[in-house]
Structure 1
Amino acid sequence: MDDKISLLIVEDEPAEQAAFAECLQNECQIELVGITGSETEALALVDSYRPDVVILDLELQEGDGLSLTPALTDPSRPYSPYVLVTTRTENRHTLDMLRDAGVGFIYDKNIERYGPDQVLRGVKRMGSFLKGRRLGRSGEAAAEKEAAKLRRERLIEELCAEMEDMGLCRRRKNCRCLVWAVYYQLQHREPLSLGKELYPMVAKELHCEPDNVERNIRSAIEKAWDVRNERLDLVYARFPLLVKKSGKLPTNSELIEAFVVRMRRKHAQ
């Protein structure tokens, strides 16, 4: 089990429990330590099995997923897992409370692409990293380094989800280039020069040439603004200032800047 990602699922809907169990049947990277719909039992299972990751449904019949979240992520506890929340709520106050509590990522059950397989991909992405983070707790410097790495992973995951909402595929190079361009620009207060600073940073991250980064971001814009994109209405709603009467697509700089503004506002709420 040491080589696997240990997982606890806190979900009280039988259909959801069965769906997760089915997805995990042939899964060699994840070790399921328990499925429960009880808040009390969830805390007991965390203390007993110390799972790397907990999938937590916010709407529980027995107990409250919202109150369970800070208990799971409380740094004073001897052991705290990485928490992925699944929910149907659209209440902004509730979502902000979850982020403040240190939830790793929130999966919206209302979105068409939601499913156990999608959530389990998030488990895989974060589980192995969590093992490394705990090894670093022996020293403050190591712990801070791992905490910074975790924040980076969370932000990259959030940006990937944003791109998927716009109809892009996270595995494609055009999406990855745009994700990393927004990420690196978010790390700087002043706008970076695309050609001299930003594109080379992304190119180094993705092991390609700066010119290739520029072309791929352009490709991502063309894909998102394509009239055949089923998510086009969401793209327009998310970036209304980039919708031009002439039909002209936004530039790379315009979209990256708009994305940075969106993410900073989102995290400032």
Structure 2
Amino acid sequence: MDDKISLLIVEDEPAEQAAFAECLQNERQIELVGITGSETEALALVDSHRPDVVVLDLELQEGDGLNLTPVLTDPSRSYSPYVLVTTRTENRHTLDMLRDAGVGFIYDKNIDRYGPDQVLRGVKRMGGFLKGRRLGRSGESAASQSAKELRQKRLLEELNCEMEDMGLRRRQKSCRCLVWAVYCQLESGEPLSLTKELYPMVAQQLHCKPENVERNIRSAIHKVWDVSNRNLDLVYERFPRLVDENGDYPTNGELIEAFVVRMRRKHAR
């Protein structure tokens, strides 16, 4: 059970509830702790089961998903799950409010490819990250939690040093976004979709919008690959496959992937 991702579904449409339940019948990576269409019951289930992730439909008959979201993500609560929202709204103000409240990702129910299977695939691909957010679940010892925190601190510091070697400054938003993107991808263990999974993860850590994460990483790449960068030779030495004879810069995904490969090789020694 501890190896599974624990999931709570807050959805009031019977057809959607049935579709999620059917998709989860033979699922080995996800443990369903409950399905409810009630805001009140959802809060009770979160407090009693502490699920890794909550899939929350914004439009509820009993309660309001928009009001429930900031309650679930409130850092002052004893436990805050990772929240994924499903909705039919296209109101930009509402969507911005959700992102500001700390929602990990928003699934648009209006698009043709939307369905419970799409949502569950996203949950599974973020498995390592989601399980890593557990705070004291399953009787985890303080020593074990401390070891995880120490590992995170060590890796983030190592990545910051790598960035500084390349000419970035750790306090700059562009550097922080790149550091967290590499860290989240490294810890995930599986390739993550940049726009649908990785950028929202980083955005939640840095309290910004996913599109800002993308722009900041792009900015970091431009700074590092600029011909005026005094550390450019070191960059080329560390990432020779990203050196383009036409002078083109690598994409966000290419640099993140190259960094993950580099870190894994370093720690495999």
State the TM bucket, normalised to the shorter chain: 0.5 to 0.7
**Pick from 194, 214, 234: which aligns with 1:159?**
194
Deviation at 1:158, TM superposition (A): 6.9
The 2-side partners of 1:63 and 1:85 are apart by 15
Report SS of the residue matched to 1:48. Answer: helix
Report SS of the residue matched to 2:220. Answer: coil
Which residue in 2 is equivalent to 1:47? 47
Q: Is the 8 A contact 2:8 2:34 kept in 1?
A: yes
The 2-side partners of 1:157 and 1:48 are apart by 30
Q: Is the 8 A contact 1:137 1:143 kept in 2?
A: no
Deviation at 1:188, TM superposition (A): 1.9
Deviation at 1:140, TM superposition (A): 11
Which residue in 1 is equivalent to 2:9? 9
- CA 1:17–1:255 in 2, change beyond 3 Å: closer, same or farther? same
Letter of the structure 2 residue corresponding to residue 81 of structure 1:
P
Q: Is the 8 A contact 2:52 2:130 kept in 1?
A: yes
Deviation at 1:128, TM superposition (A): 3.0
The 5 A counterparts of 1:130-141 are 130-134=130-134, 138=146
Q: TM-score, normalised by structure 1?
A: 0.59
- The alignment status of 1:109 with 2:109, answered yes or no, reads yes
Q: Which runs of 5+ in 1 are unaligned?
A: 163-181, 216-250, 257-269
Which residue in 1 is equivalent to 2:75? 75
Which residue in 1 is equivalent to 2:217? 185
The 2-side partners of 1:85 and 1:4 are apart by 21
The 5 A counterparts of 1:1-269 are 1-134=1-134, 138=146, 142=150, 145=153, 152=181, 153=184, 159-161=194-196, 185-186=217-218, 188=220, 190-193=222-225, 209-210=241-242
Deviation at 1:122, TM superposition (A): 1.5
- CA 1:98–1:200 in 2, change beyond 3 Å: closer, same or farther? farther
Q: Is the 8 A contact 1:11 1:17 kept in 2?
A: yes
- CA 1:53–1:151 in 2, change beyond 3 Å: closer, same or farther? farther
Q: Which runs of 5+ in 2 are unaligned?
A: 136-143, 157-175, 186-190, 198-213, 253-269
Identity %: 68
Q: Is the 8 A contact 2:53 2:82 kept in 1?
A: yes
Deviation at 1:71, TM superposition (A): 0.5
- CA 1:128–1:139 in 2, change beyond 3 Å: closer, same or farther? closer
Letter of the structure 2 residue corresponding to residue 68 of structure 1:
L
- CA 1:194–1:21 in 2, change beyond 3 Å: closer, same or farther? farther
The 2-side partners of 1:84 and 1:107 are apart by 8
The 2-side partners of 1:143 and 1:66 are apart by 35
Deviation at 1:192, TM superposition (A): 4.1
Deviation at 1:189, TM superposition (A): 8.2
Q: Is the 8 A contact 2:221 2:249 kept in 1?
A: no
Q: Is the 8 A contact 1:54 1:83 kept in 2?
A: yes
Q: Is the 8 A contact 1:52 1:127 kept in 2?
A: no
Report SS of the residue matched to 1:76. Answer: coil
Q: TM-score, normalised by structure 2?
A: 0.59
- CA 1:109–1:80 in 2, change beyond 3 Å: closer, same or farther? same
Q: Is the 8 A contact 2:52 2:134 kept in 1?
A: no
Aligned residue pairs total 197
Letter of the structure 2 residue corresponding to residue 127 of structure 1:
G
